[in-house]
Amino acid sequence: MSLVNVHNEWDPVEEIIVGTALHAVMPHEDKGFQVIQQASHDLFDSLVPGALPQRIIDETEEDIQHFVEELEKLHIQVRRPKAIEFKEKFKTLDWEAEHYFSYCPRDILLAVGGTIIETPNVFRSRYFETFEYKDILLDYMKSGSRWISAPKPRLLDELYNDSDPSQSALRNLEPVFDAANVLRAGRDIFYLVSDSGNELGCQWLQNALGEEYRVHPCHNLYSSMHIDTTICLLRPGLALINPSRVSKDNLPPLLKDWDIVTAPDMVEFKYSDLGSFSTAWLGMNLLMLAPNLAVVDKHQLPLIKLLEKQGIETIPLMLRHGRTLGGGFHCITLDVRRKGKLEDYFS
């Protein structure tokens, strides 16, 4: 039976991939990385490029190890990528780049139903990232999962808009998107159109998933990277929103009959001066392990209280350097199998 079988963001998790900080490097020259970071300069502090200090790697691995132990206590099958140390830059016909990391499987692989998709990511430095998951992907394919890869984007300079700040930093020249621009809700798939996912990416995804699914482009929600610090689908009929980005005016119309809870201000914390590639809203980047159980950043006590009021128990854990690396508990995981079946939650 296919080891990949997942239909939403909340059913009980049976198998999950958890990323690693080993060999993480903040790339020096990556046009996409630079342009998108520049476009979001009011959101992120500038990052120090180069290999991350060993302390940051070690503390992150320690935090991830605690997280994995909690998952295993719940009898969830955990798989980890094999981080490759890219000692040299790599080249395509058009450009060269340094390899980034394998910390966020959520960005590069998308699991929908029995299919796992290698997505056409926006950063050049992620071009070969799925190599680190090859053994896992092979196992999934052998079990009967459908393993596909989106067309490799060329990521030419003209894809990135660095001249007109009133437009997206990502032009619509070829399908490009990070898997973290997507949220799954049964037959309905939310797709954030932003600097990390363009319209052609949305169209490609709809074509790839076929008529069984409806992919909904979400505009004017958040212009920067990823949807999972903007909206969290907690269980059928209940979503958490980021009040600095979402209001009744731009709430995706599909959610209009759902109960909406508003995230409280995030608690800020700092374990290094290395800068950040995410906003304080990374604190709401939680992972639902079941409709009544979430893994949440342990600093976010007001959020934990709010979830508990909604009948959601929490496992408070920490990723001390999550903001520097740009990933919380949703970002650093890819839930590939959850109990449950394909359903329609909006009719």
Catalytic residue numbers?
178, 226, 331
Residue 226 touching ligand ABU (CB under 6 A): yes
Residue 282 touching ligand ABU (CB under 6 A): yes
Long-range contacts of 311-320 (CB under 8 A, 24+ apart): 312/234, 312/235, 315/70, 315/289, 317/63, 317/66, 317/67, 317/70, 318/63, 319/60, 319/63, 319/64, 319/67, 320/59, 320/60, 320/63, 320/271
DSSP characters over 26-50: E-SS-HHHHHHHHHTTTTSPPPPPE
Shortest Cβ distance from residue 297 to ligand ABU (Å)? 13
Residue nearer to ligand ABU on the CB measure, 37 or 314: 37
Residue 51: both structure tokens together:
């290999």
Applying the rule CB under 6 A, the residues between 17 and 56 that interact with ligand ABU are none
Q: In terms of Cα–Cα distance, which of 336, 290, 325 is closest to 63?
A: 325
- Report yes or no: 179 and 170 within 8 Å, Cβ to Cβ: no
Instruction: Pick from 67, 281, 329, 346 the residue near ligand ABU by CB under 6 A.
Output: 281
Residue 278 touching ligand ABU (CB under 6 A): yes
Shortest Cβ distance from residue 158 to ligand ABU (Å)? 25
Instruction: Pick from 169, 324, 326, 333 the residue near ligand ABU by CB under 6 A.
Output: 326
Shortest Cβ distance from residue 145 to ligand ABU (Å)? 25
- Phi then psi for residue 122, to 5 deg, are -80, -20
Q: Which stretch binds ligand ABU (CB under 6 A): 15-23, 141-149, 157-165, 276-284?
A: 276-284
Residue nearer to ligand ABU on the CB measure, 142 or 270: 270
Residue 225 touching ligand ABU (CB under 6 A): yes
DSSP-derived letter for residue 225 is S
Shortest Cβ distance from residue 279 to ligand ABU (Å)? 4
3 state DSSP class of 234: strand
**Which parts of the chain are beta strand (E)?**
13-18, 25-26, 50-51, 77-79, 90-91, 96-97, 109-112, 115-118, 146-149, 182-185, 188-192, 214-218, 231-235, 238-241, 259-262, 287-290, 293-297, 313-317, 333-338
Residue 332 touching ligand ABU (CB under 6 A): no
Q: Which stretch binds ligand ABU (CB under 6 A): 12-20, 84-92, 123-131, 325-333?
A: 325-333
Shortest Cβ distance from residue 219 to ligand ABU (Å)? 17
Q: Which amino acid is at 342?
A: L
Residue 125 touching ligand ABU (CB under 6 A): no
Instruction: Pick from 5, 115, 168, 229 the residue near ligand ABU by CB under 6 A.
Output: 229
Interface size with ligand ABU, residues (CB under 6 A)? 10
Residue 192 touching ligand ABU (CB under 6 A): no
Residue nearer to ligand ABU on the CB measure, 125 or 229: 229
Q: Which stretch binds ligand ABU (CB under 6 A): 60-68, 199-207, 266-274, 323-331?
A: 323-331
Inter-CA distances, 254 with 124, 150, 188, 242, 287, Å: 33, 27, 9, 17, 22
Shortest Cβ distance from residue 208 to ligand ABU (Å)? 23
Can you give the C-alpha Rg of the chain in angstroms? 18
Site residues (CB under 6 A) for ligand ABU? 225-226, 229, 278-279, 281-282, 326-327, 331
